[in-house]
Amino acid sequence: MNIEFIDKNLEDILADVELIPVVNKDFEHPLVANSKDLLEELSFSGEQEEIILLTDSKKLFVGVDELSSKYVRPAIATAIRYLINKGFKSIKMPLLLSHEKCTATARALAEGLILGSYKYDRYKSKAKKPTLKDIYISSSEYNGKKADKDAVKRAIKKGIETAKSVNFTRDIVNTPPDDFYPKIMARVAKDVAKSEGLEYNILTKKEIKEENMNALLAVAKASSHSPRVIHLAYKPKNPKAVVSIIGKGLTYDSGGLSLKPSDYMVTMKADKSGGAAVIGIMQLISRLGLDVEVHGFIGAVENMIGGNAYKPDDVLRAKNGTTIEVRNTDAEGRLVLADVLCYAQEKVKSDYIIDMATLTGACVVGLGHYTIGVMGNNDSLIEEMIYAGNVSSNEMSAKLPFNRYLKKSLKSNIADICNISNTRYGGAITAGLFLDTFIEEDNKDKWIHLDIAGPAFVEHEWGENPYGASGAGVRIVTRFIEKLVGAKH
């Protein structure tokens, strides 16, 4: 699908259908006014993401509550999702700007077009190919604002690259576990590194043993697929900051001997979402050419059952020497991350450390399907990440606060720490506090933990997201990094 910004008035562009955002609910806008009576007769109110296609005039109207990126992105995605299989080959639409000096909505528009057109049909024997080929964005701005056309082009290009990396991440997450195990994850990461000019290093089981990553190895014991630890690095000249991103790459999680109920095992291909997001972010950072050094680390593991599986009551020794009492083998992601966090801190001295994981069902209970839980020790850093989510990228996020009383619930009588809390409450926070144990003292204020369990994989469409994988983490972390180096929209 080709997206093109054209320096022409909207009426001078030829296309099969016209996509018209409806921001002014009184229908007095010039693009809407001629259809006002018919829209009212058809009970179209122009509410957010409401759509209606007038087949005679070949115009599709979509409601946008206000001209800001968090409303534009899902509205445009909803419209394109509707149009993509309607037989149209081309679409034209006006440029959307919230302010003549701000191109955030132009970027969001491009993101919405590509994110909304995503469909995972690789395993469909008779997948329907969309007819839509071309989308033309007119330089005629919806509300008549005059924009810097070069800045708009840059914003649209960034939006396209961002959405492509999100969709690439979605593909990884959606791939079934029999076709995507640790060795494959390492191969995909290596392919991205080669295509994007990144440095890479991939540890096999033998090398992981040499690194004393015993917690990670315990989780991997019962699988026929040996684990991998992946390190990708983007190193521009004169970087303004150094960032390490760590992702949980559980290519499948059965729960181990603490076996999940069958209903809960379905969708566990999505437990690799954090690791998949790391690959997507590394691809995107390189394509955006940001002046920041970024390192991506992934613990790629499969958690299965068998006679040699790790057990509740085992005591594991992590890479940093901390001993862990295992009381539930389904609390495995934190064990993998514990070792990879230690490894990442040993290998790279970073200004910021971010981990991403589908870590807890408790986060979904607390925040719902659509929201990322943000945790850490530095309140100002947490607020910056939440801003990158809620305002810049529309990846909704909320703070889950640490406290010293919940930390006590991880106490073990026979080891340094237990891998689960002694209370059923506050599970997302206690998981974050467990990870905090493996953050070096000098790095406590540099670290942020993102629990993406809610939005990473949802079994219905929502906003700009399809059924299945959303690519959670790619946009929020990239926008956070962009802000660090003062990148424009």
The closest of 405, 414, 248 to 323, measured between CA atoms, is 414
Is 122 a residue of the active site? no
Check residue 393 and report its DSSP letter.
I
**Residue tagged 């699908």 (tokens):** 1
Report how far residue 216's alpha carbon sits from residue 313's, in angstroms, rounded to the nearest whole number: 16
Rounded to the nearest 10 degrees, the angle between the axes of helix 474-484 and helix 379-387 is: 120
DSSP reduced 3-state for 288: helix
> Are the C-beta atoms of 230 and 200 separated by less than 8 Å?
yes
Torsion of CA 74, 250, 213, 296, to 10 degrees: -30
Report how far residue 178's alpha carbon sits from residue 251's, in angstroms, rounded to the nearest whole number: 9
Q: What is the b/e burial string over 241-269, where b = at least 16 CB atoms within 10 angstroms of the residue's CB?
A: ebbbbbbbbbbbbbbbbbeeeeeeeebbb
> 408: how many CB neighbours lie within 10 A of its CB?
13
Sign of CA dihedral 210, 213, 216, 222: positive
The closest of 261, 22, 103, 159 to 478, measured between CA atoms, is 159
Tokens of 277: 């997001």
Rounded to the nearest 10 degrees, the angle between the axes of helix 149-174 and helix 104-116 is: 30
Is 107 a residue of the active site? no
Catalytic, out of 260, 347, 399, 483: 260
Helix (H) or strand (E) segment spanning residue 274: helix 273-288
Catalytic, out of 81, 170, 272, 334: 334
Report how far residue 484's alpha carbon sits from residue 354's, in angstroms, rounded to the nearest whole number: 14
Judge residue 380's burial from the number of C-beta atoms within 10 Å of its C-beta, 0-12 exposed, 13-18 middle, 19 or more buried. exposed
The closest of 175, 165, 192 to 111, measured between CA atoms, is 165
DSSP reduced 3-state for 249: strand
The closest of 439, 452, 274, 448 to 360, measured between CA atoms, is 452
**Chain centroid to CA 484: how far?**
19
Q: CB within 8 A of 308, min separation 6: which ones?
A: 221, 222
> 278: how many CB neighbours lie within 10 A of its CB?
30
> 141: how many CB neighbours lie within 10 A of its CB?
18
The gap between the terminal CA atoms of the chain, to the nearest Å, is 22
Specify the amino acid at residue 7: D
Which residues are tagged catalytic? 260, 334
